[in-house]
Amino acid sequence: MRHKATGVGQQVIDLQANSLSKRFGTAAPVFSGLDFSIRRGECVALVGANGTGKSTLLRCCLGLIAPDAGRVSLLGVTLADLGGTARRELRARTGLVGQKHNLVPRLSVLSNVIHGLLGRHSGPRYWIQGLAPAEARAAAMAALEKVGLADLALRRADQLSGGQSQRVAIARALVCSPRFLVADEPCASLDPQAGEEVMALFMSLVKREGVTVLFTSHNVQHALSYGDRILGLQGGRIAIDARSADVTPLEMAKLYG
Amino acid sequence: MDSPARAVPHRFNRPGGIGFVSYVLVALVILWSLEGAGWSVDRLLSSPPKLADFFSRAWPPSTHNLDRLAWKMVETLQIAVSGAAIGIVLSLPIALLAARGVLVGRGVNLVVRIILGFLRAVPDLAWALVFVVAVGLGPFAGMLAIAIDTIGFCGRFFADDMENTDPGPAEALTATGARRIDIAASAVIPAALPAFVSTGLFALEKAVRASTILGLVGAGGIGIELKVGFDLFDYPTAVTVILMIAVVVIGVEQIGAVLRQKIMGPGR
Ligand SMILES: Nc1ncnc2c1ncn2[C@@H]1O[C@H](COP(=O)(O)OP(=O)(O)O)[C@@H](O)[C@H]1O
Ligand SMILES: [Mg+2]
């Protein structure tokens, strides 16, 4: 909201990628020479056929894997220059929602959400909810409230449905009030209806809080309706970079052709 | 259906040149080993009468010393339980250093794994001999030997258990800026816990088996009774000891299997 409201906020660049290249071993490069940027508050859909390197690109953007060449600047900080502490401080303002929910199965929902605060805090008090400080528990409960799961706080994470798990993962990502979120096919593991609900919930929350989002989806409809902008990856290059309203069905179809 | 009938395949493939040579080599190594082990048909054929003689003198097993032997068995189990417990507790931090991608870099992982390999490679009786020299005869030396043996076992397998956990939660926490130590404690260890319990139960079974013979080298437990029984030709007592050991080891294995089933259980 804040950032949408001011014209200045629109100009801030949250993610800037320059000539990014990545290959695994001696295989052909997954992608090379990618250039794009994402403005604050934007919600960008990264689309492309299976195996075109979407997940790899997302990981490079968060510095989870290093590109072979090129530069990523995230929230105004160049990733390659960062030492351990500065890197963690930057990551405390980012988050990842994966294809699977990636919760710790044997711990409670509440403990899993409190883990989302580990970027800002450290130590045993943030390992399980029973030891956590009152503010941390309150913050986690507030995040669970947002995804409508406060009443399941003490349920074990492996006793949730797929949709519930993914909502807990969203609460964990949001609990530290991130500036920049990456979501890699957040509803790929869900049935269509649960996927629809999770996507709608996720997008309404990030828009309400003004979080910048880069997400992938195999669902063209999701990409077009939730993304303000489409980045199309094909053959290791950016084939589409346009506002979603301006992308034609034919262009989308060619990506997968 | 309408595809052409295929030729019946060969029953066996003829080994190629290298295959043939390696079969011959393996056969030669086995023959050479039998030779080294003093293979003797004569002695094998002359053994049944001697064995029959042993059993006639050993049977029935002695029941005279049952309560002394029972207490020795209790001491044996105490050695096993305390040694395994100490070993398991110490294994956890060591395994964290040995597990790849959890706390420390590959170099440290490698060094720690090599040390653990060394602890495993030295037989438990050899550790017992070393600790008898270090702390004197008795069960304390045995307990230390079991503890070292358990560290070699659990340090390695706890590390493997951690490496085999789903990397997803750890990656999600990395992306939110968590430290490695926090990720290990809040994601990796909780996920590996059932595997730890299973590995720990195996370690306990192994410790019980090992502790029964530590007495052979003076490191406590019921093994000493076995040695004394044979040294004094008191075969009935020796057989009693052997039977007690078998019962206890099988019992512990059964209990371990039941607990493991309960914990790993029908998948959840
Ligand atoms: N860790 C890895 N090691 C080797 N190859 C990988 C690795 N991760 C991804 N790849 C390869 O990179 C390519 C892109 O994978 P990915 O980024 O997962 O694609 P997408 O998410 O678009 O389906 C694939 O060919 C995949 O096999
Ligand atoms: Mg992918």
- Residues lower than pLDDT 50 in chain B: 266-268
Please tell me the distance from the alpha carbon of residue B81 to that of residue B220, in angstroms, as a whole number: 13
pLDDT in tens, A219-241: 888 899 999 999 999 989 999 99
Please tell me the distance from the alpha carbon of residue A2 to that of residue B18, in angstroms, as a whole number: 75
Give yes or no for A128 touching B (CB within 8 A).
yes
- Are β-strands A94-97 and A180-184 bridged in parallel, bridged antiparallel, or unpaired? parallel
Which residue's C-alpha comes closest to atom 7 of ligand 1?
Answer: A24
| DSSP code for B185 | I
Predicted local confidence at residue B3, as pLDDT: 59
Residues in chain A closer than 8 A to B174 (CB atoms):
64, 91
Please tell me the distance from the alpha carbon of residue B155 to that of residue B145, in angstroms, as a whole number: 15
Predicted local confidence at residue B126, as pLDDT: 94
Please tell me the distance from the alpha carbon of residue A45 to that of residue A222, in angstroms, as a whole number: 9
Predicted local confidence at residue A24, as pLDDT: 92
**Residue A101 · residue A170 · CB < 8 Å:** no
**Can you give the residue ranges of every domain in chain A?**
12-91+202-257, 94-177
Phi then psi for A38, rounded to 5 degrees? -130, 125
Beta strands in chain B (DSSP E): none
| Atom nearest to A216 CA in ligand 1 | 21
Predicted complex ipTM:
0.87
SS3 helix, strand, coil % of chain B, rounded to 5?
80, 0, 20
Give yes or no for A139 touching B (CB within 8 A).
no
Closest chain B residue by Cα to residue A63? B175
- The token pair at A16 is 């800037």
Listed residue (B97, B118, B116, B259) closest to B163, CA to CA: B97
Domain A12-91+202-257 CATH assignment equals 3.40.640.10: no
Distance from the Cα of A125 to chain B's closest Cα (Å) equals: 10
Please tell me the distance from the alpha carbon of residue A214 to that of residue B54, in angstroms, as a whole number: 80
pTM value is: 0.83
- The token pair at B129 is 């001999």
On the 0-12 / 13-18 / 19+ scale of CB atoms within 10 A, A149 is buried
Fold match, A12-91+202-257 / A94-177: yes
Which residue's C-alpha comes closest to atom 26 of ligand 1?
Answer: A51
Predicted local confidence at residue B9, as pLDDT: 81
pLDDT in tens, A109-153: 999 999 999 999 999 999 999 999 999 999 999 999 999 999 999
Listed residue (A184, A194, A145) closest to A61, CA to CA: A184
- The token pair at A162 is 């797929």
Fold of A94-177: Rossmann fold (3.40.50)
Q: Is A217 helix (H, G, I), strand (E, B) or coil?
A: coil
Which residue's C-alpha comes closest to atom 24 of ligand 1?
Answer: A51
Please tell me the distance from the alpha carbon of residue A3 to that of residue B202, in angstroms, as a whole number: 58
Specify the DSSP element, H or E, that contains B17. helix B17-36
Residue-wise pLDDT tens for chain A (257 aa)?
444 444 454 579 999 999 999 999 888 899 999 999 999 999 999 999 988 999 999 999 999 999 999 999 999 899 888 888 888 899 999 999 988 889 999 899 999 999 999 999 999 999 999 999 999 999 999 999 999 999 999 999 999 999 999 999 999 999 999 999 999 999 888 888 888 888 999 999 888 989 999 999 888 888 999 999 999 999 899 999 989 889 888 888 888 87
Alpha helices by DSSP H, listed for A147-227, are 162-174, 192-209, 220-226
**Omega before residue A133 within 30° of 0, cis:** no
- What chain B holds in terms of domains, given with CATH numbers, is 68-264 (1.10.3720.10)
**Residue B217 · residue B139 · CB < 8 Å:** no
Predicted local confidence at residue B103, as pLDDT: 92
Please tell me the distance from the alpha carbon of residue A174 to that of residue B229, in angstroms, as a whole number: 71
Please tell me the distance from the alpha carbon of residue B211 to that of residue B201, in angstroms, as a whole number: 15
Please tell me the distance from the alpha carbon of residue A23 to that of residue A27, in angstroms, as a whole number: 7
**Residue B176 · residue A91 · CB < 8 Å:** yes
Predicted local confidence at residue B268, as pLDDT: 32
